[in-house]
Each structure stands twice: as C-alpha cells, then as structure tokens.
Amino acid sequence: MGTIAASILVALGVGAAESSLSALWSRTCVSCHAARGPTIVDLSTPAGVLRHRGLSRALLLDRTMPPSISHSHAGPLSGEHGLTPDERALLVQALSTREETAKAFADLTPLPQTAVKSEHRLVGRGSWTVPERGGMQVRTMLIPIEVGAPNRIRGISWQPEPGTPIRMLSFAADPARLLRMIETAPDEPLQCMGNAGAVPSGALGALTRTMPSFMLPDGWAMDLPPGDLAIEVAAEPAGRAMPVRPTIQLIPARASDSRTIHAVALMPSGLELAPGACEERVLDHATHGSPHLVGAIVKGGAFLRSVAIDAVGPTGAVRPLLSVPDLRMAFIQPLLLKTPLQLGDGDIVRATFGFDNSIANPQQPYDPPRPVVTGMPPEGEDATVVLLLGT
Ligand code: HEC
C-alpha cells in the first residue's frame, strides 16, 4: 500500500489494533476497491460488500484476493494488505450469509478521497490505441514537462479513467537519449521499453491501477533531470480498442524532504526460454556507502512467475525482503518499505527471478508455448527489478 493510503489508515486509527471486521476489510480490500477507484468493484460501502459478497467470499477462499504480492508472508517489502489465515477465516465467515454480512459491515465507511489539485497536471504526448485483444503491451511515451513544474518531487499521482487498459506506468527521465530516438517518429509512442536510456524506467517511481499514487516516505525526494519525462506504459486489451493517454500529476518535494533517491535496475539479459522451460536468474547489486533501501518496483511480462528480493550481509546472512511465488503482473504494485531499511556498506541486494514458459503458468499466452527471448511483451519478457536506494 502506498504511504498516502497508509497514513490515511493510521489517521483513522486503523492498523495496529483491528477492532472490527470493517477495519480489517478497509485495510485489506478497500485500498484497491474504493469508489471511483482503479477497479470496477467497489467494496467501500455496506451495499457494495453485499453486492459482491459471493464472489468476494470465493476469491478469499481460493486466495486470489488480496493478490499474492500483498500477502503478509511475502516479506517486509510487500505492503500492508496482508491477511493472516485467522483473519481470512474471519472474513470468509462474515461473508457466508447476507444477514451476517449486513451485520458485520454495517459500520463500514468509505476512506476519505485524497485531494487532487489541478496544478502540475501533465498529459502524455503521442497517440496509442490498444487493440481489442491480445496480451500485455508495452510502449514508451513522453510527458512534456511544463514551465513551472517542480523539478524535485516526492510523488506522482494518476487518475485512471474507468475501464482504462493501462495497468502500470513506470517513470524514467532521460530526455536526451529519448529525443534522439523520437526524431524518427515524433508523434508516435516508441516501440521500445522505457529502459531505452541511461535512467531505468521506474527510476522516478511507478503507478498502477491499484496504486495510482506513488509517494516516498517523509524526508525523501527524487530529482527530475531537465527535459521530458519518459514513461513505460503497460496496457492490457480490455475487449475493445481504447486510446492510451495518461494524465499525471507531480507532487513537489517539501524543504524537509532533503534526502535523495536514485534507482538501480536489475534486468536479466539474453533470456532464451524454450517452450516448457522454467529457469531461475539471480542478479546482485553490491551497495556502497550504507544506503537505505526505500522501495522496489517489479516489472515484467507473462513469463515472470516468481520474484524474491533479499539483502545479503558480509557474513552471507540473508534477510528476506520479498518473496512472491505466484506473481501476476496485472496485480503488481510498486513496493515501499514502511521504514526505509539501512543497508551496511558492501551489503548485497539480490533479486531472484523465476521464469516459467510452461503451459502450467496461468499467465501463459500461448498454447502450445513458444520460444521466448528478452524483449517487449506480449511475445518477449522484460522482467526488471528497480531498487530505489537513498543516500
Ligand atoms: C492490491 C490490490 C487489490 C487488493 C488489496 C484487493 N484486490 Fe480485489 N481486485 C484487484 C484487481 C486489480 C482486480 C481486477 C479488477 C479489474 O480488472 O478491474 C480485483 C478483482 C476483484 C473482484 C472481482 C473479480 C471478478 O472476477 O470480477 C472481487 C470480488 C475482489 N477483487 C474482491 C477483493 C477482496 C474481497 C479483497 C480483500 C480481501 C480484495 N479484492 C483485495 C485488486 C485488489
């Protein structure tokens, strides 16, 4: 969960001591299922819960909801939607009949909406229409930065239009390199990944339909290089051809946000996955100067099945930070630690990617599976872990 939503919950006194089922529900479900929220399913009112009671119960029982990336056992990087088995059983019980549901969630009140200011509203350039069907598609688009926009930010937010095909926006900034590439096709989004430049896509955070606000913890900020913003846009066909044109907002840093985040991308290269193949890749980043790990952004296509992030100390001691055995890119969200983790000088941050090109992969787009190499989804795999490190 983003720090905005987290601090709202803290302000409401929800979190540490869960006094009611409604509070548990707000924490684990409403964060992604609010009115005007990123999903079409509104679970923020008693009527909304009643309407989706049966399906919610089924999805809780088969552990589809909340998505696996947000299970509490996934590690400290995984956010706050986690449910213990006992809590899951409580919710399932409360959803078993209409009467019980009405009683259990009678005091459910919608979360306050975060105020949206119209300043610094920026619109993507170029036109891209996602086709009616197919797999996840990735394009790079530019967002021109207007005069007066902040050059140091602590967050970015996005108002997804209802039904938008966009699943994820990852922000980079490397105008020089991108402008050179764009000269060939000035109004078209680039057929390339946002990692085109020296600054990895995700260097300035990421947004998803389920987490449309990306906020750094208090005290931290990111610098925007001069020029345009480059965004890697991942979109999934929604049954009809739809335009993709994200409108985002920059949230300026305050004077007290004096510490600076930079990004390191870990990206397995030269993948060659034969049909049916499963393969693990491990990439290490050796730190220096005892940085803080503030967050991580996991990106990828259909063939990234699992991901783990660990901190490895000088004696080889492993501290697990994230472990998601069954990743669904459609459900992924940028991960921020509640408290940034100070690493020792020379500690290693290790990302382990599990690739699955077998028919058993629930995201497998092809039957029978086809050979897969590094490249753009849906045919290729562009798995990346971007580490957000602060000094
Ligand atoms: C991290 C975000 C997230 C959390 C937390 C979450 N969901 Fe979802 N949920 C989604 C997304 C994304 C979808 C897909 C909806 C879409 O595509 O618009 C979804 C879909 C659903 C659906 C509709 C499924 C369908 O087939 O129409 C239900 C019901 C649901 N969720 C219930 C829950 C319940 C109950 C909880 C809490 C236990 C929960 N969700 C927590 C993201 C989330």
Could you tell me where in the chain the CATH 2.60.120.230 domains are found? 261-390
Comparison of pLDDT for 275 and 190, the residue scoring more: 275
Model confidence band, residue 9 (pLDDT cutoffs 50, 70, 90): very low
pLDDT score recorded for residue 282: 98
From 39, 69, 72, give the residue whose CB has the most ligand 1 atoms within 8 Å, as the site to mutate.
39
Residue nearest to atom 12 of ligand 1 (CA): 331
For residue 116, CA distances in Å to 17, 44, 154, 244, 257 come to 30, 19, 15, 21, 21
Q: What is the pTM of this model?
A: 0.76
Tens-digit pLDDT profile for residues 194-226: 665 667 888 899 998 777 888 998 999 999 877
63-84 average pLDDT score: 65
**Statement: residue 6 has pLDDT above 50:** no
pLDDT score recorded for residue 318: 94
pLDDT score recorded for residue 67: 74
pLDDT score recorded for residue 119: 60
Closest ligand 1 atom to Cα of 210: 2
pLDDT score recorded for residue 128: 79
Q: Which residues of 217-233 are buried (b: 16+ CB within 10 A; e: fewer)?
A: bebbbbebbeebbbbbb
pLDDT score recorded for residue 186: 54
CATH of domain 261-390: 2.60.120.230
Q: How far is the CA of 51 from the centre of ligand 1 (A)?
A: 14
| Residue 56 DSSP label | H
Model confidence band, residue 287 (pLDDT cutoffs 50, 70, 90): very high
Tell me how far apart the alpha carbons of residues 376 and 104 are, in angstroms, rounded to a whole number.
Answer: 46
Tell me how far apart the alpha carbons of residues 4 and 155 are, in angstroms, rounded to a whole number.
Answer: 10
Q: Counting beta carbons within 10 angstroms of the beta carbon of residue 236, is it exposed (0 to 12), middle (13 to 18) or buried (19 or more)?
A: buried
**Statement: residue 8 has pLDDT above 50:** no
168 closest CA partner among 118, 232, 121: 232
- For 121-257, which CATH class? mainly beta
Closest ligand 1 atom to Cα of 333: 1
78-102 average pLDDT score: 84
pLDDT score recorded for residue 212: 83
From 30, 33, 108, give the residue whose CB has the most ligand 1 atoms within 8 Å, as the site to mutate.
33
SS3 87: helix
Model confidence band, residue 69 (pLDDT cutoffs 50, 70, 90): low
**Statement: residue 274 has pLDDT above 70:** yes
Model confidence band, residue 16 (pLDDT cutoffs 50, 70, 90): very low
Residues with CB under 6 A from ligand 1: 28-29, 31-33, 39-41, 52, 55-56, 59-60, 65-67, 70, 81, 210, 331, 333
From 22, 65, 136, give the residue whose CB has the most ligand 1 atoms within 8 Å, as the site to mutate.
65
**Statement: residue 344 has pLDDT above 90:** yes
**Statement: residue 297 has pLDDT above 80:** yes
375-381 average pLDDT score: 84
Residue 135's CB is within 10 A of a number of other CB atoms, namely 15
**Statement: residue 76 has pLDDT above 80:** no
Model confidence band, residue 2 (pLDDT cutoffs 50, 70, 90): very low
**Statement: residue 305 has pLDDT above 90:** yes
From 18, 32, 78, give the residue whose CB has the most ligand 1 atoms within 8 Å, as the site to mutate.
32
Q: How far is the CA of 66 from the centre of ligand 1 (A)?
A: 7
Comparison of pLDDT for 195 and 143, the residue scoring more: 143
pLDDT score recorded for residue 13: 33
**Statement: residue 18 has pLDDT above 80:** no
Task: Indicate the range of 89-93, 102-106, 111-115, 334-338 predicted with least confidence.
Answer: 111-115
Residue nearest to atom 32 of ligand 1 (CA): 56
Residue nearest to atom 23 of ligand 1 (CA): 41
Closest ligand 1 atom to Cα of 91: 38
Across the chain, what does the average pLDDT equal? Answer: 81
109-119 average pLDDT score: 59
- Percent of the chain whose pLDDT exceeds 70: 80
246-269 average pLDDT score: 91
